[in-house]
Amino acid sequence: MDLELIKECEAKARQWLASPVYDEETKAEIRAMLENEDKNPLVDAFYQSLEFGTGGLRGIMGAGTNRMNKYIVGMATQGFANYILKAFPGQEGLSVVVGHDCRNHGREYAQTVADIFSANGIKVYLFESLRPTPEVSFAIRQLGAKAGVNVTASHNPKEYNGYKAYWEDGAQVLAPHDKGIIDEVNKVRVEDVKFQGCPELIEIIGGEMDYDYMTAVKEAMIDQDVILRQKDLNIVYSAMHGTGRVIVPLCLRSWGFQNIHVVPEQMVVDGNFPTVVSPNPENAEAMTLGMKLGTRLNADLVVATDPDADRLAIVCRDNKGEWIIINGNQTAMMFCYYIIKNKKALGQLKPTDYLVKTIVTTEVITEMARRNNIELRDCYTGFKWIAREIAISEGKQDYIGGGEESFGFLPYDKVRDKDAPASICLICEIAAWARDNGMTLYDLLMQIYLEYGFSLEPTINVVKPGKSGADEIKAMMENYRQHRPTEIAGSPVILAKDFGTLTQYDAQGNASPLDMPAASNVLQYFCEDGTKVSVRPSGTEPKIKFYLEIKDTMGCANCYAGCVERAKAKVEEVKKSLGI
């Protein structure tokens, strides 16, 4: 290991030991790292400062500059408070909402955040205990707050915690506020942080906000009658040890569902997530206990939320009665299909309605919108961009749903982030409607493929660690940019989009501008046979991501397996074409 780097990290660690700001517990942890012969933990903890990015903070908990701890949280909050005071100069009654999820140190960090905001003269609405991310987003709007913080690391492993920063519209911060907050945070030293709270400026909130949020969630309902007819739909729910444990069953009951079962082991609030390797609903392993209970109870479907209840997982039975996990693209497809079909059937669809999806989400939704004359908007990955579309059209057009391939959906506009409680209620309504029509959710998925065409959407991650890896990723992006592929797996590229330069090229190479709110390092290729390839480097990990979409025509419900096999073979050809 680099001796200079070790010396540098030891010097930073000793600065923490010499400072009166840090508590004894933190100093004991630092002493143990300094005394340890293995210097890896010390270097990991101090080689850089945990960066406050556009979404906030996320990192492993522990002592050090590159760790989540109350001091790093404190500096972030002081910078955020400074920015709020600058953004609303001289305004009386500035307020923020603060929440947290089930993670270790969550309450401690949330209290630290509340103390610092209040010490800066900003009123704080602090949730009494853990609450879902979407409820924090809702509360910001409901209370007329200027900003908000939710202490959560979403679906990351148990060692992590994080800090999501929200603005007055209830969405995660966008330009220019994101850069403004980052600039303020970067100016703060730990000595500048006002840790001593002002209790009279901290108001505890809970039950009343839960009631208001649950009332809002009911606005996502499309057809109460179908729920009443199928109120005994057999539902199994897992909270994954997190924030959905109380609110999701209550929301389901308020919609009219009466046959709700919970996975008892995963209803226990526990930041160590003892029943799963990782509390990520994308991982099949995390759904094992739910599926076991579903089998025992002969359930119609199994649903789950991640620890901060912004993302959902859906498990249903296939045509052989086996449990299968519906992937993120299929989830978004089902929601959009049902919203369009049933709003249309009930005469609720209006010319001003629109849907939103992210650019890497399946084009099956594009086809649905086209055939039904519904406006569909494509935006960048991340729900803050979907929230931006809602904000732009507020009062002029009606948002009826939006989602992304990573298991997030928002079926109404009262919240401005992914909303698993509302989405779970709606997917149960969809399952009730399917059963009302003699179908399962799986049958419904097959129906969508029959109507709008089959699609397989694998994501391929090419990991390139270290500085050499980062350089290699940069070179790969540059190579794709400079040498646009003219064909992929034998099919001509008919449209290429470069979101970095905001330019698109047709099959003849003619350039035209791309209308997007900002540049982003993403490349996209659309082929004659419907194949779509999106390429982007990960913002948080040393990897380059390829989102593929392979099309086919499905002649009958039993043709699904054949389509999957052909699509998998095509994926290999695409990989070869792209040199991955």
pLDDT tens string 349-406: 999 999 999 999 999 999 999 999 999 999 999 999 999 999 999 999 999 999 999 9
Let me know if the fold of 54-205 is the same as that of 214-452: yes
Q: Which residues contact 527 (CB under 8 A, 6 or more apart)?
A: 487, 488, 489, 491, 492, 493, 494, 533
Q: How far is CA 346 from CA 224, 257, 343, 427, in A?
A: 11, 21, 5, 18
Q: What is the dihedral of CA 240, 243, 244, 246, to 10 degrees?
A: 120
CATH class of 54-205: alpha beta
**Which residue in 487, 488, 520, 491 sits closest to 503, CA to CA?**
520
Residues recognised as catalytic: 154
Is residue 465 predicted with pLDDT exceeding 90?
Answer: no
Q: Where are the domains of the chain?
A: 1-47, 54-205, 214-452, 456-578
SS3 477: helix
pLDDT tens digit sequence for 48-67 = 999 888 788 999 999 999 99
Task: Provide the strand spans (E) within 405-502.
Answer: 408-410, 454-456, 459-463, 487-488, 491-498
Q: Which two tokens stand for residue 340?
A: 């369009």
Q: Which two tokens stand for residue 355?
A: 């849907």
Q: Which CATH architecture has domain 214-452?
A: 3-Layer(aba) Sandwich (3.40)
CATH placement of domain 456-578: 3.30.310
Mean pLDDT value across residues 198-206: 98
Is residue 539 predicted with pLDDT exceeding 90?
Answer: no
Mean pLDDT value across residues 276-289: 91
- Give Rg (Cα) of the chain: 24
Confidence of residue 538 (pLDDT cuts 50, 70, 90): confident
d(CA 344, CA 342): 5
Confidence of residue 203 (pLDDT cuts 50, 70, 90): very high
